[in-house]
Chains A and B, each alone.
Chain A
Amino acid sequence: MRNWFIGSMIATAAAMVVFSLMAVPAAAQAPAAIPRTADGHPDFSGIWQVMNTAAWDLQDHSAQKGVPAGLGVVEGNEIPYKPEALAKKQENYKNRATADPESKCYLSGVPRIMYMPFPFQIFQTPAQLTILYEYVHAVRYIYTNGTPHPKGPIEWWMGDSRAKWEGDTLVVDNVHFNTETWFDRAGNFHSENLHVVERISFIDRDHLNYEVTIEDPTVFTRPWKMSMPIYRHMERNFQLLEYECYTFDNEFHVTPPGTGPNNR
């Protein structure tokens, strides 16, 4: 018993030494590493982009022509459709090339705009985040000024976003969606009763953790979640450019007469 007691004391002392060694770098690292605004909250300003294929398919998928294979971003890899809704999803999938609203260059909705394969820029004040997207120049305003959602019924493509801080996590509540958007090219869809809650926080100063809870009792049997990292663009003088999706298939591009390179 005495040897055991001494042994356990030594083990405990060793553990305390180890923990105290671990504690010093952790305390020096986490609060100082992330950028903060003057009012002390994490500052998400900057240009960001995901590095996954969620916009094509939220779940595990093999490659198709022009689309890389991808691991799923859905926790548990299952999307809990009601039986009749699952049939609709499968029909969507079959017709996806033309049925996906994104194929008509319509606004992507939330959360899909966050994982479209294009950069977006966050500007932040204490009252709101303004997010400008390169993809079809979409815009989101996320109000952090304590205002409530406007009264519905309202059906917007991008919903209405009101957020609050829980410690260093921004919790964004989104309602007032129309029925027109899909979550991905694979046909995952929702109704106008969609309710999206996003949780955004820093992993470190150049990476965000982005978690989304999807609730839609018309379509799903329970809420479900997706999560993914978002990466900061590090290129010098990086900037948003344009992706005016609907101008490509419309073959109306004409160089005005007399202005071609040979005329100048």
Chain B
Amino acid sequence: MSNRSFGLIVAAMAVPVMAALMSVHVVAQGGRARVAPIDPNFQAPHTPWGDPDLRGAWGQRNNITTYSLQAGKDDREEHTRIGGQAPAMGKPIVDPPDGKVPYQPWAAAHAQFLWEQHRHPTKPEWLDPVARGFLEGVPRINLQGGFEIQQYPGYVVFVFDYGHTYRVVPVDGRPHPAVRLKTWMGDSRGHWDGNTLVIDVTNLNDQSWMDIVGTFHSDALRLTERWSFVGTDRIDYEVTIVDPAVYTKPWKMAWNMGRNPLDEHWENAVWEGNRLGGLGPEFWGGAKAHDYK
């Protein structure tokens, strides 16, 4: 099959797929929408090797901050107290409909404890890992500023502006590594569903937080991302979050992304500029690893 006829078939399939995606949201937000409309006649461009062509620079359009995914009243008040202003603070949680993370009872208590700690942590392990200069994890990195999508035969590569972070996503069907291997950014495997890139993320460690106030998870976390290319300048993003050790059920977040001008990435060295990190164990009072069991 030639690339061109394959492309036409994929484009034709995209119409009923997009009708289903029309139910994916322009996410509830406090600020003015800057989301491009969905084009019902959208014909996605394709790379020379036949994949939908998402290459370029992208960023979220819903004023979601990484401060708090639940973006509740308490969060808004605290953010105002810290920063002197009330930002738009988009709410990315779309399932459950109340916008709250479905914690198991013990986990809800721990999340509340972390929320109370987050401005004045009494131990370093109760300070946001990102403030300590560590990696953001997934899906948080997708909200932390802009990024570039690169594509090559067999790979989709995300390079993020923040902290020279990257994600390499093989799309050639290879398996995940063994479960024992744990990483901050997870291990991603992608496949195409029409114009949607579906990414399965496993092998995450239990160390990253999904936001500053402490939305945490275990290393049983598993994510399914859907990057739906619905217009020349629009990707609708949805992620299903599964962690039977921490949550009562799967939950979902969604937001819209828009295309940005593709500029050079200039250096953003996070660890090197992190004064907390440079101080070492003496500053932290010789904090030792421990488990809560």
Contacts and interface: CB of A to CB of B under 8 A. Distances in A.
Interface residues on A, range: 35 or more
A256 interface: yes
Determine chain A's interface SS by DSSP, over half rule. Answer: loop
A252 interface: yes
A158 B216 CA distance: 33
A130 B177 CA distance: 24
A255 B264 contact: no
B99 interface: no
A86 interface: no
A169 B156 CA distance: 27
Contacts, number: 132
A75 interface: no
Interface in A166-219: 180
A252 B125 contact: yes
A1 B198 CA distance: 83
A256 B168 contact: no
Interface in B160-177: 163-166, 168, 170, 174-175, 177
Given A123-B150, A157-B267, A254 B181 contact: no
Contacts of B48: 38
Interface in A206-253: 237, 239-242, 244, 246-247, 249-253
A132 interface: yes
Given A106-B272, A252-B289, A138 B278 contact: no
Contacts of B134: 244, 246-247
A252 B159 contact: no
Contacts of A104: 278
A254 B266 CA distance: 34
B266 to A, nearest CB: 8
A247 B130 CA distance: 11
Interface residues of B, number: 58
Interface string B277-289: 1101100100111
Nearest to A258: B106
Contact of A259 (B150, B168, B246): B246
A158 B135 CA distance: 19
Interface string A104-115: 111100000000
Contacts of B264: 141, 143
Contacts of A59: none
A129 to B, nearest CB: 11
Given A123-B152, A252-B124, A252-B125, A257 B135 contact: no
Contacts of A256: 107, 110, 206, 216-218, 246, 292
A237 B187 CA distance: 13
A64 interface: no
B172 to A, nearest CB: 9
A254 B290 contact: yes
Interface string A23-44: 0000000000000001000000
Contacts of A239: 168, 170, 177
Interface string A125-154: 100001010001111010100000000000
A16 B181 CA distance: 60
Contacts of B218: 255-256, 259, 264
Contacts of B272: 106-107, 157, 180
B219 interface: yes
B174 to A, nearest CB: 5
A193 B152 CA distance: 36
Interface string B256-278: 00000000111101011000011
A262 interface: yes
Contact of A242 (B107, B184, B280): B184
Nearest to B111: A256
A242 B245 contact: no
A124 B34 CA distance: 33
A105 to B, nearest CB: 6
A253 B182 CA distance: 13
A246 B267 contact: no
Q: Kindly list the 5 A-B residue pairs having the minimum CB-CB distance in the complex, ordered from nearest.
A: A259-B218, A257-B292, A139-B164, A252-B125, A156-B267
24 contacts: A107-B271, A130-B159, A132-B166, A138-B164, A139-B164, A141-B265, A241-B181, A242-B185, A246-B271, A250-B124, A250-B277, A250-B284, A252-B287, A252-B289, A254-B290, A254-B291, A255-B206, A255-B291, A256-B246, A257-B292, A258-B110, A258-B245, A260-B293, A264-B244
Interface of B: 48, 104, 106-107, 110, 124-125, 132-135, 150, 152, 155, 157, 159, 163-166, 168, 170, 174-175, 177, 181, 183-185, 206-207, 216-220, 244-246, 264-267, 269, 271-272, 277-278, 280-281, 284, 287-293
Interface of A: 38, 45, 104-107, 121, 123, 125, 130, 132, 136-139, 141, 143, 156-158, 180, 237, 239-242, 244, 246-247, 249-260, 262-264
